[in-house]
Chain A
Amino acid sequence: MSQPIEKAASVHAGMEAAASPASSPLRRVVVSLLGDRLALIGTIVVGILVVVAVLAPVLAPQNPYDLAQLDIMDGRLAPGEQGISGMTYLLGTDDQGRDLFSAILYGLRTSILVGLASAAIALAIGTSIGLLSAYAGGRADAVLMRIVDIQLSFPAILIALIFLAILGQGVDKIIIALVVTQWAYYARTVRGSALVESKRAYTDAARSLALSDRRIIFRHILPNCVPPLIVVATMRVAYAIMLEATLSFLGIGLPVTEPSLGLLISNGFEYLLSGDYWISFFPGITLLLLIVGINLIGDALRDILNPRREG
């Protein structure tokens, strides 16, 4: 007896005490995000990495992609050593004499670009398909969702490998491969929340006001599906970056002349046991910080945007 009573009691008390102050949703999210210590750390880390990546051409002492600036004689210098040209390599060099600090900055640029671009395109495609599926219902919905099921039942890395094998190397190719592996997650998420929203009375109200389907989908249903979408997108950006690093590590992502973080790690891998740890170590740490930072933000967002918390 006591259990159901207490449960009901807390529900009641929650209702009575829920006095929601008026503020814009975005502002509330930002305030809660910065109020959470872990999320704050994540935001700072990711913020610094993004700024550094954007400013890479200014910050980097060397253009790691310009082969003319590299000197093979400077190969595999330890952190802090001075090269032939008199330049001090803060984080050492790789086997081609590339300044690792510069390479990491440029690699970060590529990683973030690939992650964001593939996430954005996959988000656009997945959201459209998810909305269409939810709103059309019936056979169209069944067909689209079975395609999603099939897609999700294959390991992402396998699909990416097949696509890259067909398409060849390059930033654009890897973005395409990542989009192909990612859109289904967005489609599934959006369809779920769009189904819920389209059953709510305000959608009925919009329909009885004779608004067009397009208007109902994009102005009424979509904005209310955004919270779960943000959470999934954050997590998926991290996943895309990691997948790109994995593919590059396997040597099928980006060309050797334009190393991303994964390729840098791969380059240093064979020297790891001979004591030249830094070639893999520093890019690895950078990748780790980026992924953990994004995941911390994603976790916090998931808690903040949880509809049960919104009340």
Chain B
Amino acid sequence: MTAPILSISGLTTAFKVDSEWRDVVRDVSFSIAARETVAVVGESGSGKSVTAMSIMRLLGPNARSTGNIEFEGHDLLSLPAKEMQAIRGNRIGMIFQEPMTSLNPVLKIGDQITEVLMQHKGLNHTAAMTEAARLLDKVRIPSAKARLNEYPMSFSGGMRQRVVIAIALACEPRLLIADEPTTALDVTIQAQILELIKTLQREEGMSVLFITHDMGVVAEISDRTVVMYRGEVVETDTTKHIFRDAAHPYTRALLSAVPQLGSMIGEPRPLRFPIVDMATGEVQPVPRTADTVRMDAEPILKVDKLVTRFPVRKGILRRTVGNIHAVEDVSFALRAGETLSLVGESGCGKSTTGRSIIRLTDMTSGTVEIGGRNVARAGKGELADIRRNAQMIFQDPYESLNPRIRIGDAIAEPMIAHGLLNGAQARQRVGSLLEQVGLSPSMADRFPHEFSGGQRQRVCIARALALDPKLIVADEAVSALDVSIKAQVINLMLDLQEQLGLGYLFISHDMAVVERISHRVAVMYMGEIVEIGPRHAVFENPAHAYTRKLMAAVPIADPERRRVRHISNDEIRSPYHNAGYLPSEHFYREVGEQHFVLVDSLETAA
């Protein structure tokens, strides 16, 4: 291999916290060769982002780095600020996670690109504009020249990320540092951006340092992989080798926790994640899940022709000029002990469906029955009864617990408020609920901020269980969690389903997790269910074009199965229609046993 473009040895970065220096990154060493893609992978707090920031010397005065970072014959750590400025953005380009905030909203796209070109390359304005148009073309933005005069607000998230990449490429850098560039994007858009980065790397002949938490993305894009854990590098190897034969227990644990799309072929029921002993790296077998679906009883949840629209009002008279058709004619049923997943990309109406079912959002029409009772027509008292049967778990465990209430009180509150138990009984039940979700009863006196994200989500589950519900609506309940924590929480949810016979409506954008946990799957697009059926049928024989597109976009955590993907550069469409729009009726075709596909949009989508 040729001489490395970037080589890092003994990098240690410390932050000053309360007048004390604390190491966040310890003794990190790795190198990147020319035209090579190296992924740095780790969970939150592993120090992967800080490593990238240290290379760019972008950390504030409360941080200090020691060690050696060699780039094109310069030691970046000892370079004077001015020379560093010439390298940053010029020889090394960088892209960030959040495309919504990394562009200046009050400057035109063209101005933001030409700014770099004029400063670093000394081009005049006309030449810079021509070059900017060429760059936008390069990152595959349609009608590039016309869009130079637009502001960031008229670009979607994926398009903005393309602009950010164009800016990073403006000075033909030798190295591109990408810090979680696709994490905030939908899966089909993520696939587009990953393909784009791969193509550009080939075209420009640059090296890429790719920082991510997603093993699937790693397998998809990188030649070599650096695994970080608690601020240290635990393993560095070729990506193929790491996935096939990881040496370090942590890497093994991380890999075993990654759900792989297509790994469930032939499995009749949801599967727990294997548990890896962190000390030895041994994989412990987990019990198979029992058959929990109660086919004999009436479904606990029946949704029939559910429609939820949000009016868009304009003008002084606040006239309704149009509607967001968030949920459009959605019907399904869910049995006790069954997990039905609603899967789709942002804006497809999956969350609104969940919220409408327990009436956190008012539905426009249709009926929802929980335990045989009509949710929409329930009065105050009856709604309270219904909600005792149906609980919700939310995405962000930091937001869904009141920061000023001790978690024991938070869990006990519904039981006491509904007069089910008195204080002492409630305390006892809180203890047993905490144990049930894998926490210690002694934690009841703590405040939410004393817990980690995964623990908080366990607390939320305990609180949801307090009223003995039959149905739990889990709205992206594991999406905000780290891979290994995600696996644990999913195992917990499967345990609870076995013990309590819970029905889950599992709302998620993550196809791989959905495949692992579901009995049945409904794919949503633009407010409609485009395909619904048993998990194996939907995943093994996807019948709708959108389902296939979604599956093709999911990165697979196996470098051996890297495929040439044909990713269409479509945007996600908006479900907005003018007032008076009447959606056409929905017809479903049965393509297999209990497997239905939406008919009328079969030809038009994708």
Contact = CB atoms under 8 A, between A and B. Distances in A.
Contact of A8 (B98, B112, B388): B98
Contact of B396 (A12, A201, A207, A212): A201
B58 A6 contact: yes
A257 interface: no
A212 B417 contact: yes
A211 B467 CA distance: 12
B59 interface: yes
A201 B98 contact: no
A1 B115 contact: yes
Interface in B458-497: 460, 463, 466-467
Interface in A207-227: 207-212, 215, 219-220, 223-224
B332 interface: no
A273 interface: no
Contacts of A211: 413-414, 417
Nearest to A202: B402
Interface string B448-465: 011000000000100100
Contact of A17 (B15, B96, B101, B447): B15
Nearest to A17: B15
Contacts, number: 126
Contacts of A250: none
Contact of B17 (A2, A17, A201, A208): A17
Contact of A202 (B53, B116, B399): B399
B562 interface: no
Interface in B72-107: 85, 88-89, 94, 96, 98, 101-104
Interface string B361-399: 000000000000000000000011101101110111001
A200 to B, nearest CB: 6
Contacts of B239: none
B19 interface: no
Interface residues of B, number: 64
Interface in A1-54: 1-10, 12-13, 16-17, 19-20, 22, 25
Interface string B347-361: 000000001001010
Contacts of A1: 89, 112, 115-116, 119, 167, 170
Contact of A205 (B50, B88, B119, B460): B460
B478 to A, nearest CB: 15
Given A22-B450, A209-B463, A10 B60 contact: yes
Interface string B264-276: 0000000000000
A13 B62 contact: yes
Nearest to B400: A201
B545 interface: no
B449 A22 contact: yes
Given A204-B360, A205-B392, A220 B402 contact: yes
A223 B403 CA distance: 10
B399 A25 contact: no
B49 interface: yes
A209 B413 contact: yes
A5 B359 CA distance: 42
A215 B404 contact: no
Nearest to B415: A209
Nearest to A211: B417
Nearest to A16: B50
A13 B392 CA distance: 34
Contacts of B383: 210
Nearest to A19: B17
Interface in B166-183: 167, 170, 179
Contact of B392 (A6, A16, A208, A219): A208
B56 interface: yes
Given A4-B103, A9-B59, A13-B53, A202 B400 contact: yes
Nearest to A199: B399
B63 A13 contact: yes
B185 interface: no
B24 interface: yes
A189 B334 CA distance: 44
Given A4-B102, A22-B450, A209-B391, A13 B60 contact: yes
B244 interface: no
Contacts of B167: 1
B404 A9 contact: no
Contacts of A202: 399-403
Nearest to A215: B417
Among A2, A4, A205, the most chain B Cβ lie within 10 Å of the Cβ of A205
A8 to B, nearest CB: 5
A206 B170 CA distance: 50
A211 B411 CA distance: 12
Contact of A204 (B384, B400, B413): B400
A200 B414 contact: no
A17 to B, nearest CB: 4
A162 to B, nearest CB: 33
B449 A2 contact: no
Interface of A: 1-10, 12-13, 16-17, 19-20, 22, 25, 200-202, 204-212, 215, 219-220, 223-224
8 contacts: A1-B167, A3-B104, A5-B88, A9-B58, A13-B62, A16-B49, A202-B400, A207-B387
**7 closest cross-chain pairs (CB), A and B:** A9-B58, A210-B387, A201-B400, A210-B384, A201-B399, A209-B414, A17-B15
